[in-house]
Amino acid sequence: MMEITVVRGDITTQRVDAVVNAANRAMRGGGGVDGAIHRAGGPAVLADCVARFPRGLDTGAAGWTTAGEMPARWVIHVVGPNYTAGERDRSLLLSCYTRALEVADELGASSVAFPLVSAGVYGWPKDDAIAAALETLRASATEVTEARIVAFDAATYDDVLAATRS
């Protein structure tokens, strides 16, 4: 059974098998979590994105690359819906978590660190982003033994922790 843990910190420093990147469709780096992962992982992450995803990824999809210079072995990239731009299909957000776990299983990853997909610059309401993550992680059949939700700030950490206890 998978354990869901919550930590406050920087996803790029997590000592897990894989970190999940909230990427954009182009898969060439960006802001927020995506930019942080590309900066921390170094040029190997971008080079692998270009090689593996020459046309990018669709919303709700997932794929993997090396983690480059980060302590994790892999980055699992997911493309969440952009709520601010009118992409409000919740099934696409749920798909990000489901597909990330499927990719983790394909890789043999037992520990995976997740951000709150789409909750940053893409503007998905935080309470629902937390609910979507927890619903999907709790319902998934996976070989992953630890799903770690990484909150960058104290308020988000408190919100996620409270939601895991309810």
Tokens 């060439």 found at: 28
Residues serving a catalytic function are 34
Whole-model pTM: value is 0.97
Domain count of the fold of the chain: 1
Residue 45 is part of which domain span?
A: 3-164
Q: What is the pLDDT along the chain (166 residues), one digit of tens a residue?
A: 899 999 999 999 999 999 999 999 999 999 999 999 999 999 999 999 999 999 999 999 999 999 999 999 999 999 999 999 999 999 999 999 999 999 999 999 999 999 999 999 999 999 999 999 999 999 999 999 999 999 999 999 999 999 999 8
CATH number at residue 103: 3.40.220.10
Give me Rg for the CA atoms of the chain. 14
DSSP string over the chain: -PEEEEEES-GGG--SSEEEEEE-TT-S--SHHHHHHHHHH-HHHHHHHHHH-TT---TT-EEEEE-TTSSSSEEEEEE---GGGT---HHHHHHHHHHHHHHHHHHT-SEEEE--TTSSTT---HHHHHHHHHHHHHH---S-SEEEEEESSHHHHHHHHHHHT-
Euclidean distance between CA atoms 141 and 136, whole angstroms: 10
